[in-house]
Amino acid sequence: MSKELILVLGGARAGKSAFAQGLAQAMGQRVLCVATAQAGDEEMRRRIQRHRQRRPSAWRVVEEPLAIAQALTSFLDATDVALIDCLTVWVSNLLLAALPGGVVQGFRQTEVAEKTVSRAVEELLVCYREGPASFVVVSNEVGMGVVPEYPLGRLYRDCLGRANQQVAAQADKVYYLVAGLAVDWKSLGPVSPPADRGEPREGGQGHDPNRR
């Protein structure tokens, strides 16, 4: 069977990880799980432990907060499916590593951080394209709520949104989950952008800037 790149998106507690695990189990026997979370506090330690308990014991697990593409390389020849869980935490890790003290101090620093995240995501996609394994990538949709109050929150929202777009553009399937229910957005078919209203149309009139 040919390999696939699949993106699994959704909000918090939408059932993304469970759905992605089910996909990975169905796609191959040799599953490699790449976990990006770090146990920075007790709450995160409990979350990590729950994820560990839900994974099949036969799966190999690599815990890597930053250099995912490099960590994957040595395993892919013996892997059917690589499950990356999740892009959400990974982008946060990359941003904090790129920003001294985790503080946004100006446009130049913001630009460097954005490019750091974009390059890392592209390295992951190159790893997929050049390797033999399917990838299932889990990520959150964080751009549909209130605009974050602080610069770091806004930068994170923007970087994660762009990272999701990078992966989705190359993905074979993009599942969006709500309350545990998934829809494959790519199966709905492409949508062309609307026609430029300034272009003259056959049998009609061109755009009149004085018309209201």
Residue 51 annotated as catalytic = yes
Does residue 171 belong to any structural domain of this protein? yes
Question: The domain spanning residue 35 has which CATH number?
Answer: 3.40.50.300
Q: Is residue 51 part of a domain?
A: yes
Closest-CA residue to 139 (of 4, 49, 5, 26)? 5
How many angstroms separate the CA atoms of 15 and 181, rounded? 8
pTM of the model as a whole: 0.84
Number of domains present in the structure of the chain: 1
d(CA 58, CA 55): 8
Helix, strand, or coil (residue 39): coil
Asked whether residue 29 is domain-assigned, the answer is: yes
Neighbours of 157 (CB within 10 A): 16
Cα three-residue angle 142-147-47, rounded to 5 degrees:
40
Q: Return the number of other C-beta atoms located less than 10 Å from residue 96's C-beta.
A: 16
Comparing 25-34, 106-115, 137-146, 171-180, which segment has the lowest mean pLDDT?
A: 106-115
Band of residue 41 on the pLDDT scale cut at 50, 70, 90: low
What is the full DSSP assignment across 6-31?
EEEEESTTSSHHHHHHHHHHHH-S-E
Radius of gyration, CA atoms only, the chain = 20
User: Is 205 domain-assigned?
Assistant: no
> Over the stretch 165-212, which tens digit does the pLDDT of each residue have?
999 999 999 999 999 999 999 998 877 777 766 554 444 444 444 444
pLDDT in tens, 46-96: 776 777 767 788 899 999 999 999 999 999 999 999 999 999 999 999 999
User: Has residue 69 been placed in a domain?
Assistant: yes
The closest alpha carbon to 60, from 23, 25, 33, belongs to: 33
Which domain covers residue 88, as residue numbers?
5-187
How far is Cα of residue 47 from the mean position of the Cα atoms in its chain? Answer: 19
Residue 147, domain member (yes or no): yes
Domain membership flag for residue 46: yes
Q: How is residue 132 written in tokens?
A: 């033999």
Catalytic residue among 3, 30, 47, 51: 51
Q: Is residue 158 part of a domain?
A: yes
